[in-house]
C-alpha cells in the first residue's frame, strides 16, 4: 500500500518545480512503461496493478510496487489511468553533442501547447529525426501531457533547450536553415536540401523575428487549389509533419 | 448585466445535451466572433466587452450584449477568455447534398480527440476540402474544444455525421477510396488519384475493419531512412495533413 507521503511525492512530480528539484519525471500506461524497461532511460520506480505486473518480466534491480486501481487513480494524471506508472530520471543533455551534418534537425521556437510539442516529437521520430532543439520558452518536455502525446517517442528523440541565438551562432556557415513562411517557396516545386535545420514557430505568432534572420530556405506549404485565402495557417505539428515528409522522401 | 439564468443557459451550451436541445452552439474569441458576423452562419447572440464591441461594426439586427471581463470569465470555456462570445445556430446538414466528383472528400472513422478533430477540419480547409463525413462515434463538431481548434475553419468546411457503411453504399462504383494503412503503397512513389475519398481512422485502432473493406487505394506514409521501426504511427491529424498535401499538390 502506498503511504500518504509517497502519494504526495508522486503527485508533486506533476509540477515542473518538483520535477526540476528531484531530477525525475513520470511516464504512464502499459505500453510506455514496458518500453521504458528496455530503453536506455534510467527507471527509478515502477507502480503497477497486480494483474499488470504479473505479466511483465522486470530487469534485474527493478522491483515494481504493486498498487490498487484506486491508488493508481490517485497518483495518475491521466483521465483513464492505464495499469502502470514509472518514475524516470531526467537525462542530462548537452547541445554541444548535436551532430548536424548529413541529417535533419528540428528547432522549435516557442511551441506553447504540450499536445503540439508531444505530437511534433512523435512525428520527428517517425521521420528519423534524432535531435530537437527548443527555445527556453517552449513547453517543457517532461510535462505529463507532452510525454503522453509523444506516444513513447521521448525515449528515441533527444530534446534540448537552449537560447536559439546561441545555437544558430554555432552552426557552420551556409548550412541550410529552413522555415515555413507565407512568403516562402512552394515546398512541392523547389529543390530541397538533403541536410539542414527546420524551424517551427509559435502557434499564433509563427517564427520570431530574430530567428527569421537565420533562415536560408523559406518554404511555403501551398493551399489546395479549391481553398479560399481565409485559412491563415496550419497547425504547427501538421506543418512540421508535411515538411519532414517531403524532406525525408526526396528523389 | 447578465442575469443568473442567462449565465446558466450560456454555460449549459457547453454540454452536448443542451446544444442538441437548443440547436445552438458557442464560439469564442475576438477573431472567430468577428468572422462569424460576416459568415453565412446564423448568429443568435453576441456577448462582448465594451472596448471590444466599440471597435466592431455589427450587421443590422445584431445588437451585442455588453458584458464585463468577470462575466465573460463566467460564461467562457477558454482558459484565457478573449473579449467576445457568440451563440450560433447549428446548421442543418444532409449527406445527400455532398458532391464527390472532381474533388477530395474526407471521411473520419471514429476520431475521438476534440483537438484532433478541430485540427483535421483546419487542415482540410487549408487544402480546399469542402466536405468531411464523420462516423456517428466521432467527436462532436460543436464541442467547444473542437470549435476552438478549427481556428475558424468550422465556418468554411461542411461536417456531416452518418453511418459510414450507408455513405459508402451510396458512392459510385470504382470511385477511389484512400486510406493510410501500414501495408499500403508509398504515397511518394505511387500514382495518386485526382479525385476521391480519404479515410482517417481512430487514434489508437486506426480504420475499423468494416470500413477497410471499402478502401481501393491503400497508402503508406514512409518513415524516414534514419527511423527505427519503433514509432508505430503518426498522429491522425498529421497523417491527414501529409496525405492531403500530396493529393492537392500533384503534377
Any B CB within 8 A of A128 CB: yes
Q: What percent of chain B has pLDDT over 90?
A: 89
pLDDT score of A225 more than 90 = no
Mean pLDDT of chain A: 95
- List the single residue in B with minimal CA-CA distance to A238: B238
Which positions in chain B touch A219 (Cβ < 8 Å)? none
Confidence of residue B227 (pLDDT cuts 50, 70, 90): confident
> Which among A123, A234, A239 has CB closest to B234?
A123
Taking CB atoms and an 8 Å cut-off, how many pairs form between chains A and B?
Answer: 132
Which residues 6+ apart lie within 8 Å of B243 measured at CB?
A: B178, B180, B187, B198, B219, B221
Residue B224's pLDDT is 85
**A78 interfaces chain B, CB cutoff of 8 Å:** no
Confidence of residue A121 (pLDDT cuts 50, 70, 90): very high
* Average of per-residue pLDDT across A1-5: 92
Any CB–CB contact under 8 A between B156 and chain A? Answer: yes
Span B153-167, mean pLDDT? 97
What is the CATH architecture of A95-247?
3-Layer(aba) Sandwich (3.40)
Cell reading at B99: 458532391
Region B226-249: mean pLDDT is 91
Q: How far A145 CA lies from chain B's nearest CA (Å)?
A: 13
Segment B55-68 mean pLDDT? 94
pLDDT for the residue numbered B231: 83
Q: Do B127 and A233 touch (CB under 8 A)?
A: no
Query: Does an H or E element contain A89, and which?
Result: strand A84-89
CA distance A13 to A24: 7
Q: What is the pLDDT of residue A182?
A: 84
Average pLDDT over residues B125-147: 97
Name the phi and psi angles at B232, rounded to 5.
-85, -25
Look at A33-37, A170-174, B206-210 and tell me which has the smallest mean pLDDT. Answer: A170-174
pLDDT the model gives residue B229? 74
Q: Taking the model in full, what pTM does it have?
A: 0.95
Instruction: Give pLDDT, residue B79.
Output: 87
DSSP B216: S
Instruction: Taking residues B55-73, report their average pLDDT.
Output: 94
Q: What is the pLDDT of residue A110?
A: 98
Whether residue B242 is predicted with pLDDT greater than 80 in this model: the reply is yes
Q: Is B31 on the interface with A (CB under 8 A)?
A: no
User: What is the model's pLDDT at position B168?
Assistant: 97
- What are residue A217's phi and psi, to 5 degrees? -120, 105
* Total H helices, total E strands in chain A: 10, 10
Query: In the beta sheet, which residues pair with residue B199?
Result: B107, B179
Is residue B138 predicted with pLDDT exceeding 80?
Answer: yes
Q: Could you say which of A119, A128, A153 has the minimum Cβ distance to residue B226?
A: A128
Of B222, B223, B242, the CB nearest to A242: B242
Q: What share of chain A in percent tops pLDDT 90?
A: 89
Q: Give B24-36 pLDDT, tens digit per residue.
A: 999 999 999 999 9
Chain B closest-CA separation from residue A249 CA (Å): 7
Would the pLDDT of A251 be above 70?
no
Q: What is the pLDDT of residue A97?
A: 84
Q: Which three cell numbers stand for residue B103?
A: 474533388
CA B227/CA B222 separation, integer angstroms: 10
Chain A nearest-CA distance from B3, in A, is: 34
Q: Is the pLDDT of residue B57 over 70?
A: yes
Mean pLDDT of chain B: 95
B239 part of contact set with chain A, CB < 8 Å: yes
CATH superfamily of A4-89: Ribosomal protein L30/S12 (3.30.1330.30)
pLDDT tens track for A152-196 = 999 999 999 999 999 999 999 899 999 998 889 999 999 999 999
Residues of B in contact with A239 (CB under 8 A): 241
pLDDT-based confidence at residue B170 (cuts at 50, 70, 90): very high
Alpha carbon of A198 to those of A239, B130, B196, B215: distances in Å? 11, 31, 32, 34
How far apart are alpha carbons B147 and B153 in whole angstroms?
8
Partners of B122 on chain A (C-beta within 8 Å) are 231, 234-235
pLDDT of residue B251: 66
Question: In A127-235, which residue ranges form alpha helices assigned H by DSSP?
Answer: 144-149, 164-169, 209-212
Three-state DSSP class for residue A108: strand
Task: Answer yes or no: is pLDDT of B182 > 90.
Answer: no
Closest chain A CA to residue B153: A231
Cross-chain Cβ contact B241/A242 below 8 Å: yes
Minimum Cα–Cα distance from A221: chain B residue = B245
Q: Across the beta sheet with B104-109, what order do the strands follow?
A: B158-161, B131-134, B104-109, B196-201, B177-186, B217-220
For A50-95, how does the pLDDT look when each residue is reduced to its tens digit (9 = 90+)? 999 999 999 999 999 999 999 999 999 998 999 999 999 999 999 8
User: Could you give phi then psi for residue B235, rounded to 5 degrees?
Assistant: -60, 145
Nearest CB to B242; choose among A115, A223, A241: A241
User: What are the domain boundaries of chain A?
Assistant: 4-89, 95-247
Amino acid at each position: 500500500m502506498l503511504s500518504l507521503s509517497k502519494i504526495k511525492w508522486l503527485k508533486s512530480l506533476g509540477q515542473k518545480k518538483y520535477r526540476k528539484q528531484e531530477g525525475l519525471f513520470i511516464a504512464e500506461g502499459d505500453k510506455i512503461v514496458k518500453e521504458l524497461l528496455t530503453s536506455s532511460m534510467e527507471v527509478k520506480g515502477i507502480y503497477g496493478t497486480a494483474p499488470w505486473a504479473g505479466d511483465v518480466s522486470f530487469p534485474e534491480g527493478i522491483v515494481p510496487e504493486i498498487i490498487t486501481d484506486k491508488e493508481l487513480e490517485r497518483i495518475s494524471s491521466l483521465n483513464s489511468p492505464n495499469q502502470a506508472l514509472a518514475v524516470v530520471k531526467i537525462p542530462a543533455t548537452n547541445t554541444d553533442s548535436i551532430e548536424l551534418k548529413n541529417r535533419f534537425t528540428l528547432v522549435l521556437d516557442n511551441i506553447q501547447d504540450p499536445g503540439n510539442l508531444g505530437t511534433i516529437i512523435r512525428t520527428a521520430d517517425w521521420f528519423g529525426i534524432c535531435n530537437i532543439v527548443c527555445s527556453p520558452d517552449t513547453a517543457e518536455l517532461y510535462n505529463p501531457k507532452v510525454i503522453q502525446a509523444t506516444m513513447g517517442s521521448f525515449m528515441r528523440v533527444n530534446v534540448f533547450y537552449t537560447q536559439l541565438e546561441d545555437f544558430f551562432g554555432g552552426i557552420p556557415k551556409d548550412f541550410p536553415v529552413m522555415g515555413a513562411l507565407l512568403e516562402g517557396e512552394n515546398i512541392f516545386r523547389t529543390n530541397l536540401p538533403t541536410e539542414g535545420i527546420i524551424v517551427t514557430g509559435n502557434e499564433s505568432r509563427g517564427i520570431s523575428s530574430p530567428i527569421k534572420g537565420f533562415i536560408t530556405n523559406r518554404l511555403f506549404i501551398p493551399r489546395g487549389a479549391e481553398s479560399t485565402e481565409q485559412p491563415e495557417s496550419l497547425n504547427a505539428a501538421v506543418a512540421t509533419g508535411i515538411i519532414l515528409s517531403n524532406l525525408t522522401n526526396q528523389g
